[in-house]
Amino acid sequence: MDLILCHTTADFDALGAAVGLTRLLSGSKIVLTGGSHPPVRDFLALHRDEYPLIERRSVSPEKIRSLTVVDTQHRDRLGKAAQWLDLPAVKEIIVYDHHLGQESDIPATRSHIDSVGATTTLIVEQLQQQEISLTAAEATVMALGIHVDTGSLTYDQSTARDALALAWLMQQGASLSVISTYRDPGLSLQLQQLLTESLESLESFCLHGYTVAWVTLKTEAFVPGLSSLASELVELTEIDALLLANEYPLGEEDSRLTVIGRSQIPKTNLNLLFQLLGGGGHSQAASLNLREVDSQAILKQLLDGIKAQIPHPLTARDLMSSPVRTILPETTIAEAQRILLRYGHSGLFVVDSQGQLVGIISRRDIDIALHHGFSHAPVKGYMTKNLKTITPDTTLPQIESVMVTYDIGRLPVLENEQLMGIVTRTDVLRELHQERDEDQEGQKFKIQNDAHRLANAALTKSKIPLSTELQNRLAPQLWQLLTTASQEAEKRGWHLYLVGGAVRDLLLAEATSGTLMIKDIDLVVDGFHKSADVGAGVELAKALQQLYPAARLEIHGAFQTAALLWHKDPELDSLWVDIATARTEFYPYPAANPEVEASSIRQDLYRRDFTINAIALRLTSPRTGELLDFFGGLLDLQAKQIRVLHANSFIEDPTRIFRGVRFAVRFGFEIEPQTEEFIRYAINSGVYDRTAQENSKTPALQTRLKTELKHILEATYWKSALQLLDNLGALQCIHPTLKLDPELLRKLRLLESCLRRFDPQPTLIHWEMRLEALIAHLTPQYRAKVAKNLQLQEDGIQRLQNLACAQTEVMESLPKCQSPSQVVQLLRQYDLPMLILIAVQSPRSLRHQIWEYLTVWANVQPLLNGNDLKKLGYKPGPQYRQILDDMLAATLDGVIKDQTEAKEFLVRHYPK
């Protein structure tokens, strides 16, 4: 006998899943282990004969071969039927459920547990796979199961899979009229009376703008349908969370407590709270049953748990951008336009000499003034006065209300009459959109095992619980460092973020536990809500250096950033941690170093190069673990594409082209089509040539370009990166004539052969040799100039400057050499890097001789040395060098082959 067990007080989801399983498990029977919900009981009163149900008392336990449990993972929810789980004759126990994160005590041989709105959905998917059709009665009860457990697809746990399952059941003939009758059957007379009592006795409190209510009902016996009563209470009172408790006697000395929980508060999870007391359910709907307990103590514990889960409401302090660009009333329209252009704002606040806010002027106001020829007029004649303002503690709902009521797109944030920041309509819309996304995803951000692939990346802001995902992924010592840094920032009232590549690599890393040791970390301090100045990052770095004295502290004054460096530390190995204050930047001209100013984390992310690098992870409370992604970086990680943030990004900084190529090749990503267009436009515009001619310092074409070339040429993927750079025309940034033509590719292959053969234990810096080979491909007149521009080492510059002369000499003289000694005499005047560069530039015949020199002849030593000459009676002096050189030549040419012949050679040519 194969049985399908529904949990006690069976609901439509349990019944619908069980009915579907009878089609998958031919000949199986359904057992309702202990009662059912009133709507289910009423439904079965008319439709029982449509389904293979049997009573528990009619089962012969010795005949049970398999058990399939639906919609629960706990044996205590199976009533007396739980005894069957321990029968030795039962060979298979299967569990189907949709409640994740529960510890099952059922000894299942197979489990089917997945995050969908209803267990019935899992059964429907298997029926579809096996192409099993249903009767109308079967489809109807299964559709009821999905409708009731998902609130007709309105509950947060609902998924697209539930919707597809419902659509298929409709195709199978599910009756909509029957579904509408039993999905919301209304309250029984008893429940209506309890509803009136509940409304009179309901207690509540408000916290962070949310209302939480509770009520305790005492009845003479168990009351079926309390979940319907709870839903009705929530709908009638418009409360945000409810705990409905029912106390009733069970026998003469025993009592039972049932608690039904409902919550519409984002980020609360009733399932976790109720599980602590032996109950469970979903994040927004859960229940529990207890015997002989203090009902008021249980309610207090649950209410305290809800209080702890209620999120702090977002305030203007969390949303605002700061500092705010302000101008004086006397500022001209032309100057205001220049400021808007520099910072990319759509409006500017106007303050008086005491810093008091007196008005705002928008880009549209400025454009109109310019159109009418008033570029020299002061902005006070065009600004808007009588502004609506908010404080840093104004909540998000209040901000939304003001914007809607007065149709205002930007609100200044004032504290003690001083302008602290600005909240825009975009800030509010983004936050509301992100909250909806979080709710739809169940606040879960999942990183797949497959590297470079993300699930649920449609979120623009997500939350990785630091106690799980982040802490478990990172090496413990690195996690401790980040924790310490966040604590030091919190002491000063600042926010601290992990930003850029470290966050990207964390998201892309394979899910290995406690092994991720990121070598390069960027931290950003955002403290403008606490009036932190541009030196906040340096202050935090100094504080950390006191706690980690093994780290070397470097401070970069120009940008007010600091770095902590560990070198071969026993715990942190070679780690580099950059700490900066959140800042914005402006490029005075293309390829220049940017001018930076302190700013907020949003503006700091906005100044970055690519979306996948403009992601930040908050390390400080109260929103610890929040992932900030304002520009779609997660979506681009999922799409495996490199997308630039700004259209003019490559014109301002050509090194971003090389970074973009490096990331694309390193991760196996594609450069997004419009980003590629921006790259080609910047290169073909000639802006880099003009900039280099007009400005003596162009760091993005000099030192910063060299740094990017270093990163590329020392990586294993350097060949692919060069090919992509050439395809984009980006090698022109090194020199306008440089192309990766077949001849250069041949030279690079020869270079690699030489480096492998002649420098196997690297004594040369191989990436520099590759860069020199690229520069050496240019005509001689450009080589030294390019090398100096990229600020190569002095010996490299000299080598490239002298390469043409050295190559000419070798090419003319080497063919004339008649013996090995002549070859050695010619070539030993050049060091190994020069010989390698000459070799890759030379024809095969000469290259073969250079190769033989380096592999054989350069390693030959005279058969006698200076000590031998001294023992033979030769007086030390300048003559020694000539003797040894002649002896080496004779050895190379085969004139002498051993020490005896060497001594005879001495007697003949250097008699005493």
894 pLDDT above the threshold of 90: no
- Evaluate if residue 446 carries a pLDDT over 50: no
- For residue 53, report the phi and psi dihedrals to the nearest 5 degrees: -95, 140
- The helix/strand/coil state of 571 is coil
> How far is Cα 680 from Cα 673, in angstroms, rounded to an integer?
11
Asked if the peptide bond before residue 762 counts as cis, ω within 30 degrees of 0, the response is: no
- Give burial (CB, 10 Å; 0-12/13-18/19+) of 407: exposed
3-state secondary structure of 413: strand
pLDDT of 772 > 90? The answer is yes
Q: What pLDDT is attached to residue 460?
A: 35
pLDDT at 325 > cutoff 90: no
Mean pLDDT of 869-874: 83
Q: Band of the pLDDT at 589, cuts 50, 70, 90?
A: low
pLDDT exceeds cutoff 80 at 39 = yes
Res 420 pLDDT > 90: no
User: From CA 456, how far away is CA 634, in angstroms rounded?
Assistant: 9
> Tell me, what DSSP letter sits at residue 876?
P
Q: Lowest mean pLDDT: which of 126-140, 219-233, 779-793, 865-879?
A: 865-879
pLDDT band at 448 (very low <50, low <70, confident <90, very high): very low
Query: Residue 590 pLDDT > 80, yes or no?
Result: no
DSSP string, 725-769: HHHHTGGGGT-TT----HHHHHHHHHHHHHHHHH-SS--S-HHHH
280-281, strands of its sheet edge to edge: 203-207, 210-218, 241-249, 255-263, 285-291, 280-281
Closest alpha carbon to 366 in 405, 418, 327: 327
**Would you say 300 and 216 are in contact if contact means Cβ atoms under 8 Å apart?**
no
How much is the pLDDT for 253?
77
Percent of the chain with pLDDT over 70: 91
Is pLDDT above 50 for 452?
A: no
**According to the model, what pLDDT value does residue 457 have?**
33
Q: Is the pLDDT of residue 458 over 50?
A: no
629-638 core/surface letters (b: 16 or more CB in 10 A; e: else):
bbbbbbbbbb
Average pLDDT over residues 180-191: 82
Cα–chain center distance at 437? 16
Q: What are phi and psi of 32, to 5 degrees?
A: -85, 110
pLDDT confidence tier of residue 747, bands split at 50, 70 and 90? very high
Instruction: Reply yes or no on whether the pLDDT at 50 is more than 70.
Output: yes
Query: Got the DSSP string for 223-235?
Result: -TTHHHHHHHHHH
Alpha-helical (H) ranges within 590-648 are: 601-606, 633-639
pLDDT band at 187 (very low <50, low <70, confident <90, very high): confident
Q: What is the pLDDT of residue 450?
A: 31
- For residue 62, what pLDDT is reported? 92
Q: Distance between CA atoms of 93 and 119, rounded to whole angstroms?
A: 17
The percentage of residues in the chain with a pLDDT greater than 90, rounded to a whole number, is 51
Least confident of 325-339, 504-518, 624-638: 504-518
Banded model confidence at residue 183, pLDDT cuts 50, 70, 90: confident
Mean pLDDT of the chain: 86
- For the cut 80, the answer to whether the pLDDT of residue 256 exceeds it is yes
**512, pLDDT greater than 50:** no
Does pTM top 0.75 for this prediction?
no
Residues 402-414: pLDDT tens digits? 988 888 888 999 9
Helix, strand or coil, per DSSP, at residue 212: strand
Backbone angles phi, psi at 7, to 5 degrees: -70, 165
Pick 466 or 261 by higher pLDDT: 261
Q: β-strand 670-671 against 573-581: which pairing, if any?
A: unpaired
What pLDDT, on a 0 to 100 scale, did the predictor assign at position 250?
A: 82
Tell me how crowded residue 56 is: count the other CB atoms within 10 A of its CB. 16
What was the pLDDT predicted at 511?
Answer: 47
Q: What band does 112 get if pLDDT is binned at 50, 70 and 90?
A: very high
Tell me the pLDDT tens digit for each residue of 598-653: 667 877 888 888 999 999 998 988 778 888 888 889 889 989 999 999 888 888 88
Q: 176 or 426: whose pLDDT is higher?
A: 176
Region at 791 (left for phi over 0; alpha for psi -120 to 50; beta for the rest): left
Instruction: Answer whether 577's CB lies under 8 Å from 564's CB.
Output: yes
What residues contact 707, with CB distance under 8 A and at least 6 apart?
655
Pairing of strands 255-263, 66-70: unpaired
pLDDT of residue 558: 56
* pLDDT of res. 869: 84
What's the pLDDT score for residue 652?
A: 82
Q: Which pLDDT score is estimated for 902?
A: 86
Give the position of tokens 């001495």.
Answer: 906
Torsion of CA 698, 701, 704, 708, to 10 degrees: 170
| pLDDT tens digits for range 671-698 | 999 999 999 998 988 877 777 777 767 7
Per-residue pLDDT at 69:
96
Q: How many CB atoms lie within 10 A of CB 187?
A: 16
Instruction: Classify 250 as helix, strand or coil.
Output: coil
Asked if pLDDT for residue 173 goes beyond 80, the answer is: yes
pLDDT at 656: 93
| CA dist 908 → 27, 290, 891, 904, 911 (Å) | 111, 114, 15, 6, 6
Read off the tokens for 709: 């070339």
Average pLDDT of 849-860? 89
Rg of the chain in Å (alpha carbons): 39
| Structural element, H or E, at residue 271 | helix 270-275
Instruction: Please determine, for residue 443, whether its predicted confidence score (pLDDT) is greater than 50.
Output: no
Confidence of residue 266 (pLDDT cuts 50, 70, 90): confident
pLDDT band at 904, cuts 50/70/90?
confident
The answer on pLDDT for 37 being more than 60 is yes
Looking at residue 441, the DSSP 8-state letter turns out to be T
Find the helix or strand (DSSP H, E) in which 523 lies: strand 520-526
Least trusted range by pLDDT, from 184-188, 247-251, 263-267, 273-277 = 184-188
